[in-house]
Amino acid sequence: MFGYKVPAPDQAMLISGGQRGQGGAPFRVVTGHGAFVLPVFRKVRFLTLAMCEAEVAETCVTRQGISLTVRAVIAFKVGNDTESVVNAGQRFLSDQNQMSILTGRIFAGHLRSIIGSMTVEEIVTERQKLATEVLDTSKAEMAKIGLIVDSLQIQSIDDMGSGYIDAMSAPHKAAIQRQAQIAQAQATQASTQAQQEAQRNQAEYARQTAVVQAQYKAEIDRAQAEAAQAGPLAQANAQREVLQAQTELAQRAAELRQQQLVAEVVKPAEADAERIRLLAIAEAERTRILAEAAASNDRVALDRMLIDQLPQIVKEAARGLAGANVNVLNGADGLGEIAAGLVSQGITILDSVKRGIGSPSTERTEPIVIEAVESDGSRDGQQ
């Protein structure tokens, strides 16, 4: 739109020719938005708010009197507040490159001042301390011209060939070299050990591989041998099984034949023998019973016959005494005794006959003795 101006995000628009700005500034500051500017009556200028850079390479003398060349880089910019923009615009609006030149000069002066109060060892080992002190001393001066410093970096420190820094670092270099040598030796030793271990592992691997290959070959050979023997071995096993089956079949047939012979021959023969034995036992028992019955009947008959003949036997015995000269001394008692003796003789004879018939023996029957008293008073035995 005609007459309407908008500054860039990293710019400040300075409008002059109208009313004065804040704090009596000769221009009005506009940032972050646009504004109407009357042509001819107003003039618009732009001040950069972007980051700027200044380099410093200054020869400084330390507290020890040793000259050092210090190189540094300063990052700065115009402050965002209106006061900083006004201060910077009044000083650098016509030639904004002067900001870097002036900033370098300011920092060079402060750098010489700070280094002059420090030793080389402090400067070398404490660069951040040096940068911080330089920033702190220059902050107020930079604010007066509307600039703020974002960072200060010490790039290098050179002793201008005096060899002081090298001498100072020599012990550290020697220690570092010694440590490096030790580390190198340790690394070499570790590498050697690793190589030896690798060689041992390779040898072990080769040995195990050889063993495995030998085992594998042995398994293959055994499998091939078994495969080669499988046919004859299988045939032999089959023949052995056939022979075993035939043997079992023959044994079974023999057992069946034996059972058949037992059933057809042995059992009937044993049954006939048992029948004959039982018949013989029965016949013998019958014969024994008949014999016992016959013997019993004969004894009864014999006893009866002997009893019937007993009076005759006694009579004959008495007849033998009839012609004898017998004296009876005791009268009737003596006669009774003679009669009793005759009867007793008859009974003894009867018993002898019965024993002889029942069970023949060699016993001799005692003769019957009858005592008689002759008339002359002497005794004479008659048989």
Q: How confident is the model at residue 78 (pLDDT cuts 50, 70, 90)?
A: very high
Phi and psi, residue 361, nearest 5°: -145, 175
Higher pLDDT, 272 or 294: 272
pLDDT at 361: 41
Residue % of the chain over a pLDDT of 90: 10
What pLDDT is stored for residue 221 in this prediction?
84
The residue ranking higher by pLDDT, 242 or 141, is 141
Q: Which domains does the chain have, with CATH numbers?
A: 1-50 (no CATH), 55-77+94-169 (3.30.479.30), 300-382 (no CATH)
According to the model, what pLDDT value does residue 340 have?
Answer: 66
pLDDT at 330 over 60: no
Q: In terms of Cα–Cα distance, which of 39, 58, 65 is closest to 107? A: 58
Tokens of 381: 């035995």
pLDDT band at 374 (very low <50, low <70, confident <90, very high): very low
pLDDT for residue 243 is more than 50: yes
**Mean pLDDT of all residues belonging to the chain:** 78
Q: What is the average per-residue pLDDT within 293-300?
A: 64
Q: Enumerate the β-bridge partners of residue 15.
A: 28, 44
Asked if residue 370 lies in contact with residue 341, where contact means CB atoms within 8 angstroms, the answer is yes
Report the pLDDT value the prediction gives residue 206, as an integer from 0 to 100: 87
Q: Are 202 and 210 in contact, with CB atoms under 8 Å apart?
A: no
**Mean pLDDT on 21-32:** 76
At which residue do the structure tokens 């380099």 appear? 55
The answer on pLDDT for 380 being more than 60 is no
pLDDT band (50, 70, 90) for residue 3: confident
CB atoms within 10 A of CB 335: 12
Alpha helices in the chain, H assignment, sequence order: 82-92, 98-115, 120-125, 127-144, 164-261, 267-322, 332-358
The secondary structure of residue 11, as a DSSP letter, is: E
CA-based nearest residue to 147, from 8, 53, 57: 53
The rounded distance, in Å, linking the Cα atoms of 257 and 260 is 5
Residue 51 has pLDDT above 70, yes or no: yes
Taking residues 140-168, report their average pLDDT.
87
- Span 80-97, mean pLDDT? 88
Report the sign of the C-alpha dihedral through residues 306, 308, 310, 315, in that order: negative
Highest mean pLDDT, choosing among 34-43, 307-316, 323-332: 34-43
Check pLDDT > 90 for residue 75. Answer: yes
Q: What is the pLDDT of residue 315?
A: 67
Instruction: Please give the structure tokens belonging to residue 320.
Output: 């033998």
Helix 98-115 and helix 82-92: axis angle, to 10°? 100
